[in-house]
Amino acid sequence: MSNDKYATPLSSRYASEEMSHVFSLRNRFSTWRKLWLNLAIAERELGLDVITEEAIEQMKQHLQITDEEIKLASIEEAKVRHDVMAHVHTFGDTCPSASGIIHLGATSCFVTDNADLIFLRDAYDIVIPKLVNVIDRLSKFAEEYKDLPVLGWTHFQPAQLTTVGKRATLWIQELLWDLRNFVRARNDIGLRGVKGTTGTQASFLALFHGDHDKVEALDKRVTELLGFDTVYPVTGQTYSRKIDIDVLSPLSSFAATAHKMATDIRLLANLKEIEEPFEKSQIGSSAMAYKRNPMRCERVCSLARHLGSLYNDAVQTASVQWFERTLDDSAIRRISLPSAFLTTDILLSTLLNITSGLVVYPKVIERRIKGELPFMATENIIMAMVEKGASRQDVHEEIRVLSHQAAAVVKQEGGDNDLIERIKKTEFFAPIHSELDSLLDPSTFVGRAPQQVEKFLANDVKKALEPFKDSITSEEVKLSV
């Protein structure tokens, strides 16, 4: 890679080798050759004797394009101003016995569109197992901390207690929906197939001298040879760009999940309750040596915003495709489709790293609960006093006065919440002084959170991950800088 040319950080800095390969030039052009080979095989099987066994064997031997051939094709493209024809010529020079039949009956979209659909499916096959592992690791975290009470927040203001594990299930549930959407989108991807210049299959009908059955058989056979179950029954010159909307929609939806989860962890890091992993030699700030910035979660939020925006590219492109096709889809799709999957891949790798090493600080969590729980416990205290024979209205007034006094200590003096100490010193509350500790047990304020976690993991998560159990791994995930 040249240091004098811009390279997208998606591939040069962040994304995995396997995802970068899917959208690489070598894979693109080698896939074109695979498409030409399978078209020739199917055409020969259906009676086109002009395609010889020698031609097919030569094509099989040169499916993987070399660096030199990529260079020669680039030179040819500069002359003819057409990328597909440049590669037809280059492949033909490499396979002289096949030079006259490569691309027979096909239009450029036979290779470009069918290849894109192959790449989209292959890319989903990379990100789905990674998402499964994020869910699996986060589920283990939820199980470990299902009973640990923690202050809940609504409007980012103190609310009723929940547990650390229960909060994690909120992230997991959204990830499960993303997994469902990924799998649906992946399995819905079909092949454009063999449709000709405007989708009428006229060129192939001519090749087979008006035999409609053979044209249909050709479409089906090429689809089978390329490992697809579905071929789109009708197309224009291209497959409908609405397919790209269906492909990118789950990725953009996942971006929202990732952003929300990473934001929660960033806020928890500020509260010093939970932190992402922090390496021994990692530097948080060039000026402030003590800092532990949540840089992984910040990266997630940053890239998730980019991923979420790419959905609009697909929507806008699909909406302006005139009749059987226009070419204003080409440049944007070369950018948005690879970017979407490269970014998804990066987000999942980063989330895998984060969920593998989340650090919890129970003492900080306990201290924050103690600061807020006395106010939350007032209803329990009122009910306990009423059981001892006191008037609810009288108890409420006593609590109100003491609560305002305690709040003033916290807000105006910066002190600790001393409401319980005030209650202990107030004779009015003597009937329940011995019960105050039990009334303030945090575990009694979390409702069914632990049981919800257990049931959710045992039922919903287990069922969702069962088909992917062979993909689950404990492999450590290293991040790029």
Q: What is the pLDDT of residues 265-304, one digit of tens each?
A: 999 999 999 999 876 544 444 444 445 789 999 999 999 9
Specify the pLDDT at position 390: 94
Confidence of residue 375 (pLDDT cuts 50, 70, 90): confident
pLDDT reported for residue 339? 97
Q: What was the pLDDT predicted at 480?
A: 62
pLDDT at 194: 97
- Sorted by sequence, the CB contacts under 8 Å of residue 438 that are 6+ apart come out as 444
Q: Please report, for the chain, the start and end positions of each structural domain, with discontinuous segments joined by +.
A: 24-104, 109-364+460-471, 378-439
Average pLDDT over residues 99-122: 97
Give dist(CA 40, CA 50) in Å, integer.
Answer: 10
pLDDT (0 to 100) of residue 283 = 44
37 band by pLDDT with thresholds 50, 70 and 90: very high
* 155 catalytically annotated: yes
Active-site residue identified among 12, 82, 285, 480? 285
Average pLDDT, the chain: 93
Burial class, 466, CB count within 10 angstroms (exposed 0-12 / middle 13-18 / buried 19+)? exposed
Share of the chain above pLDDT 90, in %: 85
Arch. (CATH architecture) of 24-104: Orthogonal Bundle (1.10)
pLDDT, tens digit, for every residue of 184-200?
A: 999 999 999 999 999 99
363 or 414, higher pLDDT: 363
Q: Write the DSSP assignment of 36-71 as a string of letters.
A: HHHHHHHHHHTT-TTS-HHHHHHHHHT-S--HHHHH
Kindly report the CATH number that applies to the domain delimited by 378-439.
1.10.40
pLDDT at 394: 94
Query: How confident is residue 127, by pLDDT bands cut at 50, 70 and 90?
Result: very high
- CATH C-level class of 109-364+460-471: mainly alpha
CA 110, CA 39: separation in Å to the nearest integer?
9
24-104 and 109-364+460-471: identical CATH topology: no
Percent of the chain with pLDDT over 70: 96
Confidence band of 132 (pLDDT split at 50, 70, 90): very high
pLDDT tens per residue, range 137-171: 999 999 999 999 999 999 999 989 999 999 999 99
In eight-state DSSP terms, residue 231 is B
Give mean pLDDT, residues 208-219: 98
Active-site position among 155, 209, 434, 474: 155
- Tokens, residue 312: 């609009």
